[in-house]
């Protein structure tokens, strides 16, 4: 897998590159700002890009803006956005326009090279990756009349994994059950929560996140 | 006392002057009636001219008498009176049955009609000729016409004058007859009349174009007819220069005479109207003074004054103690007055209370000060004190909001420093520890692997704490993504269920967003502290304010959330608390 890393802080950029190198992933270029990243993407045509959300010049959401450009211009190239913020708003904004081949991970998550490599592979396979911290915060959100209370423990587990962007197959292997069982669970969850979106579509991650964030009791 | 006795004396003198003028006019007309076959005046030649002649002269005299009763227009009144008298000079000159000395005198004064009116128009509205060019023009007109008429009286023998018509027999002032010089002087007199008439037109036109709205309205009744006087007198002079023999039976000459009579009449009426409107203004000022003395309306002095003086452009400013700045009634610092504005000062003793900026054509300064009695000045002083208090309040408000903004900026900087500095270094350290652990594992050094594993875990924990700390210092998402995402995150993390209504998607000024965020954050903590199981939050824009309203089901409040109230207050907003409800309104424009 060929990867481009973009982060304005050299230490972080190098650190990630070395970790990936150790894991046998080919880092073909590094960039320190969004403009450099877009240039490297055009030149090197990588499989996946890792980009920091906060980069020069304004240090706000340059990473998200660059992601939208890359996803629009090069639909086959996946993007993993790294952030130090547990911000569902950012994650959802990322999914709104291009619900596949994107990921949002907290920066310290990539300490665990296995997690990082797994995320890159999933994105390369066309899936979505949402940081578990964000998902658990949304699932654990206090609600007045909690519709999640109607779900079984296993169904809630499945809902969380769906929100993290896992495919049915990936969920099945994570929970040591068959894919058909997972499919049944997912259908049941969507039914109980009244989610209208097709449980098989790429849009299901965003739909679940939005649902978790809303006040369904109203 | 001395002033009022002087005024009474002057009034009597004026009455005597008016009576004398009327006698003069009546005598002149009687002499017209006694005229012989040969027509020596327009009044004798034509009934219409007789009416016009009489009306114009009497109007000038009457308007002059009226104007002379008002201090402001006294000089104009005297000039109008003199012009009226001079106007009848032509009738005397042509009165064949009158004494020769009177006929000769009539011939001397007649040319001054135009000179007096020229002076009058240039001295409007208050008797002062303002520009130095105009002063030179007035003096030159008096000197030239004066010298020429005197010289002409001394040198002209009517018997030798080819073009004589009003009086071809008598000149009581004749010293030495010289027909050549007398003829030349006639020409000079016509040319100077033409020059004065044109000067009148130019000056009147420039006054009219240069004035602003209310000033132009006030001047038009005099300046407008002045243009007509200039035009008819210029036509008269040009006609005489081309056709030296004046003949009232010729339609052209008759028409010019009627036009001159009409224009002088209009000028006199205009002057009278101006005088009356000035006294109306003074009456309004007196009423205003009474109103102010009886029922002061805070902040309304300017409007009251503008209505009383019918000058909507009026400004009332108050000098700020010490600084010399001028402030308006709301306490805003005002620009120094523009050069074309008249400034009237209202003082109490020698202390300035207020300055009134107004149109210079409308009212003169001492009058305004006099009209406002001591009761009115008390209310002006109240208004000045109120303006001063408002100005201080404004300064305090500005300093409050600066303090809040400075503190926010410092927090924001601190958050950014943590993010870009300590957090990045800890991250890098963490990567290094991971790598070291991997290579230790490769060399099967189990002890080192476990030490490095623990170190990496510690680093991660430190990072986590640092992240929460930075978020607590300043929520970066507020600046980066705006109020709606930031408040949604607050709801995600809240210890009790928080239900958000529709959030306004637009961005607000940074201090407004930050304040609304703090209100929601504190409302959540407050509700949780009072044992609420639920908090409802409504955020919305209402015209120029951002409204934050919350309600919950906790125990009634006893605290007052002072620091939140302070923060909202610093932006000039309002903050209201009930038992379990909260409402903050923050100005956002």
Write the pLDDT tens digit of every residue in B401-445: 888 889 989 998 998 888 888 888 888 888 888 888 888 988 888
Chain position carrying tokens 């001219």: B49
B496: nearest CA partner in chain A: A142
Chain position carrying tokens 């007789």: B50
Shortest distance, CA A42 to any CA of chain B (angstroms)? 28
Euclidean distance between CA atoms B7 and B424, whole angstroms: 92
- Whether the CB of A22 is below 8 Å from some CB of chain B: the reply is yes
Q: Is residue B125 reached through a cis peptide bond, with omega within 30 degrees of 0 on the bond before it? A: yes
Which residues of chain B have a CB within 8 Å of the CB of A15? 427-428, 430-432
Instruction: State the SS3 of B461-518.
Output: HHHHHHHHHHHHHCCHHHHHHCHHHHHHHHHHHCCCCEEECCCCCCCCCHHHHHHHHH
CATH code, B118: 1.20.1070
Question: How many C-beta atoms surround the C-beta of residue B359 within 10 A?
Answer: 23
B237 and B353 belong to one structural domain: no
Where would I find the H helices in B69-178?
74-87, 89-94, 100-109, 112-123, 132-155
What pairing do the DSSP bridges indicate for beta strands B545-552 and B535-542? antiparallel
Residue B265 belongs to a domain: yes
- Contact (CB<8Å) A143/B497: yes
pLDDT computed for residue A218 by the predictor: 46
B499 and B565 belong to one structural domain: yes
User: What's the CATH superfamily of A2-130?
Assistant: Response regulator (3.40.50.2300)
Beta-bridged to residue B550, according to DSSP, are B537, B582
**Last residue in a domain, options B388, B412, B438:** B388
B351 and B206 belong to one structural domain: no
**Last residue in a domain, options B248, B280, B312:** B280
Mean pLDDT within B31-56: 74
Residues 149-188 in A contacting B (C-alpha not used; CB under 8 Å): none
- Contact (CB<8Å) B438/A22: yes
B494: nearest CA partner in chain A: A142
pLDDT computed for residue B1 by the predictor: 43
Burial class of B337 by CB neighbour count within 10 A (0 to 12, 13 to 18, 19+):
middle
A136: nearest CA partner in chain B: B492
Euclidean distance between CA atoms B246 and B260, whole angstroms: 15
Of A11, A14, A137, the CB nearest to B425: A11
Order of strands across the sheet that contains A26-31: A26-31, A2-6, A48-52, A78-83, A102-106, A128-130
pLDDT digits (tens, 9 = 90+) for A3-46: 999 998 888 888 889 889 888 899 999 999 999 999 999 999 99
> Is a pLDDT exceeding 60 seen at residue B259?
yes
Beta-bridged to residue A48, according to DSSP, are A3, A78
B210 and B304 belong to one structural domain: no
Domain containing residue B127: 13-280
Most confident of B22-26, B70-74, B240-244: B240-244
User: What percent of the residues of chain A are helix, what percent strand, and what percent coil, each to the nearest 5?
Assistant: 55, 15, 30
pLDDT digits (tens, 9 = 90+) for B435-451: 888 889 888 889 999 99
Euclidean distance between CA atoms B216 and B210, whole angstroms: 8
* Every domain of chain A and the residues it spans: 2-130, 136-213
Which residues of chain B have a CB within 8 Å of the CB of A57? none
Domain A136-213 belongs in CATH node 2.40.50.140: no
Of B435, B460, B494, the CB nearest to A108: B460
Most confident of B46-55, B62-71, B495-504: B495-504
CATH code, B573: 3.30.565.10
> What's the number of domains chain B is made of?
3
pLDDT digits (tens, 9 = 90+) for B363-394: 554 566 666 666 667 778 888 888 888 888 88
B475: nearest CA partner in chain A: A85
- Tally: H helices and E strands in chain A: 10, 6
Residue B226 belongs to a domain: yes
B503 and B377 belong to one structural domain: no
Which residues of chain A have a CB within 8 Å of the CB of B423? 84
Q: Which of A111, A116, A214 to mutate to test the interface with B (most CBs of B within 10 A)?
A: A111
Instruction: Label residue B460 left, alpha or beta by phi (over 0 means left) and psi (-120 to 50 means alpha).
Output: alpha
Token pair for residue B527?
């509700």
pLDDT computed for residue B299 by the predictor: 67
B257 and B337 belong to one structural domain: no
- Whether the CB of A16 is below 8 Å from some CB of chain B: the reply is yes
For the ranges A2-6, B288-292, B567-571, the lowest mean pLDDT is seen at: B288-292
B174 and B58 belong to one structural domain: yes
Which residues of chain A have a CB within 8 Å of the CB of B494? 142
Residues 111-140 in A contacting B (C-alpha not used; CB under 8 Å): 111-113, 137-138
Which residues of chain A have a CB within 8 Å of the CB of B477? 85, 87, 89-90
Euclidean distance between CA atoms B459 and B453, whole angstroms: 10
Mean pLDDT within B557-566: 87
Mean pLDDT within B63-83: 87
């Amino acid at each position: 897998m060929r990867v481009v890393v973009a982060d304005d802080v050299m230490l972080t950029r190098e650190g990630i590159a070395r970790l990936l190198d150790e894991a046998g992933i080919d880092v073909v270029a590094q960039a320190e700002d969004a403009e450099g990243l877009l240039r490297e993407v055009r030149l090197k045509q990588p499989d996946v890009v890792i980009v920091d959300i906060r980069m020069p010049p304004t240090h706000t959401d340059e990473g998200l803006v660059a992601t939208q450009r890359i996803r629009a211009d090069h639909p086959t190239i996946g993007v993993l956005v790294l952030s130090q913020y547990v911000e569902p708003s950012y994650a959802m904004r990322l999914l709104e326009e291009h619900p596949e081949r994107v990921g949002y991970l907290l920066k310290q998550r990539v300490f665990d090279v296995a997690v990082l490599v797994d995320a890159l592979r999933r994105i390369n396979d066309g899936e979505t990756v949402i940081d578990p911290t964000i998902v658990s915060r949304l699932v654990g959100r206090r609600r007045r009349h909690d519709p999640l209370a109607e779900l079984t423990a296993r169904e809630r587990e499945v809902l969380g994994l769906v929100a993290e962007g896992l495919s049915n197959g990936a969920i099945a292997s994570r929970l040591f059950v068959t894919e058909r069982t997972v499919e049944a669970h997912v259908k049941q969850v969507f039914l109980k929560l009244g989610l209208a979106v097709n449980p098989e579509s790429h849009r299901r991650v965003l739909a679940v996140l939005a649902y978790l964030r809303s006040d369904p009791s109203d | 006392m001395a002033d009022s006795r002087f005024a009474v004396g002057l009034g009597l003198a004026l009455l005597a002057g008016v009576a004398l003028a009327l006698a003069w006019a009546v005598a002149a007309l009687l002499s017209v009636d006694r005229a012989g076959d040969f027509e020596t005046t327009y009044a004798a030649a034509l009934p219409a001219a007789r009416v016009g002649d009489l009306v114009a002269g009497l109007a000038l005299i009457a308007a002059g008498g009226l104007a002379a009763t008002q201090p402001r227009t006294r000089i104009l009144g005297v000039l109008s009176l003199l012009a009226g008298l001079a106007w009848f000079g032509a009738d005397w000159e042509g009165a064949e049955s009158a004494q020769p000395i009177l006929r000769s005198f009539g011939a001397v004064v007649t040319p001054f009609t135009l000179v007096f009116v020229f002076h009058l128009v240039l001295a409007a509205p208050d008797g002062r000729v303002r520009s130095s060019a105009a002063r030179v023009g007035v003096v030159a007109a008096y000197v030239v016409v004066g010298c020429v008429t005197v010289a002409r009286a001394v040198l002209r023998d009517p018997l030798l004058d080819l073009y004589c018509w009003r009086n071809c027999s008598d000149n009581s002032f004749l010293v030495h007859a010289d027909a050549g010089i007398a003829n030349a002087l006639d020409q000079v007199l016509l040319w100077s009349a033409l020059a004065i008439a044109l000067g009148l037109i130019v000056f009147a036109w420039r006054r009219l174009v240069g004035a602003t709205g209310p000033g132009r309205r006030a001047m038009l009744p005099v300046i407008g007819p002045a243009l007509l006087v200039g035009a008819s007198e210029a036509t008269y002079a040009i006609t005489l220069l081309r056709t030296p023999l004046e003949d009232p039976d010729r339609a052209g000459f008759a028409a010019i005479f009627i036009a001159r009579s009409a224009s002088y009449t209009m000028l006199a009426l205009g002057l009278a109207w101006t005088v009356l409107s000035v006294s109306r203004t003074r009456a309004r000022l007196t009423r205003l003074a009474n109103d102010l003395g009886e029922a002061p309306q805070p902040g309304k002095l300017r409007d009251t004054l503008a209505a009383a003086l019918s000058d909507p452009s009026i400004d009332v400013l108050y000098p700020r103690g010490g600084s010399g700045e001028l402030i308006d009634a709301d306490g805003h610092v005002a620009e120094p007055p523009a050069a074309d504005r008249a400034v009237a000062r209202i003082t109490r003793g020698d202390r300035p209370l207020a300055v009134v900026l107004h149109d210079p054509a409308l009212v003169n300064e001492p009058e305004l000060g006099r009209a406002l009695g001591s009761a009115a000045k008390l209310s002006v002083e109240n208004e000045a004190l109120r303006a001063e208090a408002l100005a201080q309040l404004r300064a305090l408000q500005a300093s409050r909001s600066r303090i809040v903004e400075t503190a926010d900026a410092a927090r924001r900087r601190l958050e950014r420093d943590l993010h870009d500095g300590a957090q990045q270094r800890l991250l890098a350290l963490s990567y290094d520890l991971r790598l070291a652990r991997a290579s230790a594992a490769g060399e099967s050094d189990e002890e080192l692997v476990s030490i490095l594993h623990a170190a990496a875990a510690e680093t991660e924990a430190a990072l986590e704490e640092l992240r929460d700390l930075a978020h607590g210092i300043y929520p970066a998402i507020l600046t980066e993504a705006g109020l709606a995402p930031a408040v949604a995150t607050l709801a995600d993390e809240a210890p009790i269920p928080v239900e958000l209504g529709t959030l306004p998607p637009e961005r607000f000024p940074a201090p407004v967003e930050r304040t609304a965020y703090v209100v929601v954050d504190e409302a959540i903590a407050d509700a949780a502290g009072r044992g609420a199981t639920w908090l409802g939050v409504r955020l919305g824009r209402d015209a120029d304010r951002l409204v934050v309203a919350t309600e919950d089901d906790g125990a009634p409040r006893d605290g007052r959330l002072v620091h939140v109230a302070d923060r909202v207050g610093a932006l000039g907003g309002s903050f209201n608390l009930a038992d379990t409800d909260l409402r903050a309104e923050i100005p956002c424009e």
